[in-house]
Amino acid sequence: MTEARSERVITALDAEDWASASTLLERLPMENHRVKVGKQLFTRSGPCVVEELHARGSEVFLDLKFHDIPNTVAGAVQAAAELGVWMVNVHASGGPRMMEAARRAVEGGGSRPWLIAVTVLTSMDARELHSVGVAAEPEEQVLRLARLARESGMDGVVASPAEVPLLRRELGPDFLLVTPGVRPAGSGTDDQRRSATPGQAVADGSDYLVIGRPLTRAEDPRSAWEAIIREMSMADDSA
């Protein structure tokens, strides 16, 4: 991964509306240029949020985690591609036909978004995974879904930083690994159950670190950002 460290951080703009999101952006440095729009902001403020972010020069990861029948997901992914987003995602547990339909939906045009699949939500531990009927351990299930995602034409997966060493070893250097659940050393994990520090995520080979509350809830988001970038640099330098 040759991108600058600041380009490897995707800020999760989990704000209640566009007004709060843009206030937050003003409190972050300009290098914070990749942002993730999730269900709350998109549902409240709609596609114009993506347009506003593009006008500001940001690249947008539209994190709506589509999970539906193939025809519906294909239509949704195509609509996302027409918005010009940089990255969009589906749930790998929607199955191979659904992922293949999503892939076909973004093919054929000029530039297309990165299409990635969510494996096991980073908020789930083994116990919760078992409670929804999956007997496998999280790592095993993440690897199974990541293999399926690759065979179905996905460019990469969303997984926890804890699974990055395994996924890199098994899937090689070119499959995108996008990791939420990142927490600076010493900070609480909130509702995340499988997490690691920014330094660890980078050292293990994560391509993109999705970071929300450690930035959005920080008293000083700019300093929090700088501390994260410093931690990533130290991990890179010692690799």
Which residues are annotated binding-site positions? 14, 36, 63-72, 122, 183, 192, 212-213
Cα 70 from chain centre: 22
Task: Answer yes or no whether residue 180 interacts with ligand LLZGTKA7 by CB under 6 A.
Answer: yes
Rounded Cα distance between 172 and 121, Å, is: 22
Place of tokens 């909130």: 190
Decide if residue 213 touches ligand LLZGTKA7 (CB under 6 A): yes
Q: From the list 7, 125, 140, 190, which residue makes contact with ligand LLZGTKA7 (rule: CB under 6 A)?
A: 190
Locate 13 and state its tokens.
């703009």
Kindly identify the residues of this chain, within the stretch 51-110, that bind ligand LLZGTKA7 according to CB under 6 A: none
User: Does 38 participate in binding ligand LLZGTKA7 (rule CB under 6 A)?
Assistant: yes
Build a one-symbol-per-residue string for 103-122: x at contacts with ligand LLZGTKA7 by CB under 6 A, - elsewhere: ---------------x--xx
Number of residues that bind ligand LLZGTKA7 (CB under 6 A): 15
Residue 100 burial (CB < 10 Å; 0-12/13-18/19+)? middle
Tokens of 144: 């199974």
**Residue 192 touching ligand LLZGTKA7 (CB under 6 A):** yes
The answer to whether 128 contacts ligand LLZGTKA7 (rule: CB under 6 A) is no
CB half-sphere exposure, 74, CA atoms < 13 A: 13
| 163 DSSP assignment | G
Of residues 134-163, which lie at the interface with ligand LLZGTKA7 (CB under 6 A)? 158
Closer of 98 and 178 to ligand LLZGTKA7 (Cβ): 178
Pull the structure tokens for residue 193.
């159950």
**Cα–Cα distances in angstroms (integers) from residue 69 to residues 52, 91, 94, 101, 189, in the given order:** 30, 11, 8, 9, 33
Catalytic residue list contains 65: yes
Residues at the site binding ligand LLZGTKA7, with contacts judged by CB under 6 A: 12, 14, 38, 118, 121-122, 158, 180-181, 190, 192, 210-213
* Catalytic positions, written as ranges: 65
